[in-house]
Structure 1
Amino acid sequence: MITILAGGTGSVKLVRGMYRESENITIISNVADNFWHYGLYVCPDIDTIIYGLSNNLDKKKGWGVKRDSFNFLKYMATLGTEKWFNLGDKDLTTHVLRTQLLKEGRNLTEITKFFTEKYGLSVFVLPASDTHYESNIVTEGNKRIHLQEYWIKYQGSVPVCDIIYKDIEKARVTLPAQEALEESKLIIFAPGNPITSIGPIISIPGMKNLLKKLKNKIVMISPLISNKAVSGPCEVYMKAKNIPPNLRGLIDFYSEITSTMIFDQLDKSEIERKIKNDYPEIKFCYTDILMTNLRKESLLARYIISNF
């Protein structure tokens, strides 16, 4: 079994490629993006993975259901309600059902299994935790804004002072997620944002110690090429956590819990000349990691499967 730690938009391409190339994968999904909206429980990263694997994702946007309509939001707007978070009509059914199942007493792991089965997926998508906690952006004056609100409502326009995982001390790794990690022959950190996609998973109490024990079978795929984020605000968030927003900062961030790191060919020269010798316990590998189409997603997946 291969287990992938994943966020949403920055991770789904690799997850999709691995799903096509391997018969036995498990995804441990970030849940710190989850939030309540219009009285509904929304899980952006879990949904992006499920939509992506079932060929329902709007690939142009990178989120939501393809060919969705937004009549619900239009009617909400006529009543003077804020509509900063784009809930499509088809997408809305997921959140309504999830909320109903939560109220019936099911946990998030059980509910996510329900959806993977409904979408006909032969894969386990496991929430990293069944406990709610969330990534908050800290702005000037110690104001805290949920990550989704910061990035979508405010368009990332407010200076970031810090990023915290609110209530993470209450979270626990689910037993299915822990067992998946322990039983896997290979664990992959998808090229999601290290602070807001992968970071909230590895920061759950007890998770880092578990990953240290499993270090020899952990492979990280870089979210950076030529010291720039492939997508999203990776550099901004790294800087907010006082992590140098470059290849060295990324390597140092993951160095305690990763034995192998895969970077783009474009970064081979810099890493081999300037960085590699400072991390003798890490194996550095290089290939084309820019997944611009389905073929390149599969090529990267095949590279990982055949080499590790």
Structure 2
Amino acid sequence: MSVHPRVVVLAGGVGGAKFALGVRAALAARGAAPATVIVNTGDDLWLSGVRLQPDVDSILYALAGVNDAARGWGRAGDSERVNAELVAWGAGWPWFTLGDLDLGTHLARTGWLREGLSPSQVLARMSQRWPLGVRLLPMTDAEVDTHVLLGDGRRMHFQEWWTRHRATLEPAAFENPGIDTATPAPGVLEAIRAADVILLAPSNPVVSIGPILAVPGIREAVRAAPARVVGVSGIIGGRVVRGMADVCLAAIGVATSADAVAAHYGAGGAGGLLDAWLLAEEDAALAPAVDALGIRAVVAPLWMTDVVAGTALAEAALRA
């Protein structure tokens, strides 16, 4: 692989944000061009009249160095006066906290959308505020919010299921209404086709990476690209690192194990996506099972406890 590869990352959520930081640092150390990060927009929603993009904002804030690292979402040092006032009015969702600085982001985004800018144009404008060191692209400009179909037949927005109910309600399926007619955001397919390396971040395979790949044309572009495709397991020692990805995986019949998620993505040589798959040291015993899928297993430390560890992980993914 070239010392200065063109890198594309598919990412969402806190795991995607931490990984993007590591990729940025690893590429900067090589003197390589900034990565293009294609971000999940399936968990977007309208709330109290403003457009929220949780995964976009998590990655944007992390790269800008203004994120609340303790909570994993929102802005550091934020206050919640406006949120309290919304609750007092009976507006919004009382269990879905919006910080005041965060609301400033949502208001700016909504205003630009109302003026006619597309989501990708809005994100390009937002990216100018801080030196991010990567190029951020939404997966699509279409609104394809994730809905959860419950086992009892009820349907709700993913954010209600995830945040209010903490994934305790049994899901039967996850859907993105309108995604079949969505198109990749401008620049997405071009970045994938020109890439030397495509990295699948250790994000939720079902509701973060899944929607990106479900946008018509993106999965096909990844499979057809000359780039090596390397994924990073978000499962360590049979457990999810963060969140409730295990519940999501069970809903689509995938076990909560690193080799099962690798099989879910599939081998590039057998109609799937992956050329290599990074496993945690705790899961080294699963490496032969991954190799048997036609995917090269690479065992590496996967815990992104700080930027140094995240950079080392990104470097391991690039070497893979």
Aligned counterparts of 2:202 and 2:17: Cα–Cα separation in 1: 9
**Alignment pair present for 1:261 and 2:277:** yes
* Gaps in structure 2 of 5+ consecutive residues: 1-5, 29-33, 267-271
Contact 1:54 1:120 in 2 (8 A): yes
Contact 2:203 2:209 in 1 (8 A): yes
Q: 1:200, CA displacement in angstroms? A: 0.4
Where does 1:1-308 land on structure 2 (aligned, <5 Å)?
1-23=6-28, 24-81=34-91, 82-214=93-225, 216-255=227-266, 256-272=272-288, 275-276=289-290, 278-280=292-294, 282-305=295-318, 307-308=319-320
Q: 1:80, CA displacement in angstroms? A: 2.6
Contact 2:287 2:298 in 1 (8 A): no
Aligned counterparts of 2:196 and 2:145: Cα–Cα separation in 1: 30
Q: 1:123, CA displacement in angstroms? A: 2.1
Q: 1:292, CA displacement in angstroms? A: 1.2
Matched position secondary structure for 2:14: coil
Q: TM-score, normalised by structure 2?
A: 0.91
Matched position secondary structure for 1:201: helix
User: Partner amino acid for 1:164?
Assistant: E
Matched position secondary structure for 1:196: coil
Q: Which runs of 4+ in 1 moved over 4 A?
A: none
Q: Percent identity?
A: 26
Aligned counterparts of 2:238 and 2:127: Cα–Cα separation in 1: 36
Contact 2:258 2:279 in 1 (8 A): no
Matched position secondary structure for 2:146: strand
Matched position secondary structure for 2:8: strand
Aligned counterparts of 2:303 and 2:116: Cα–Cα separation in 1: 42
* Gaps in structure 1 of 5+ consecutive residues: none
Superposition RMSD on alpha carbons, in Å?
Answer: 1.4
Aligned counterparts of 1:31 and 1:128: Cα–Cα separation in 2: 6
The one-character-per-residue Cα deviations of 1:188-243 (angstroms, maximum 9, x if unpaired) are 00000000010000111122221111275110000111221111111110110122
User: Partner amino acid for 1:294?
Assistant: V
Paired residues in the alignment total: 304
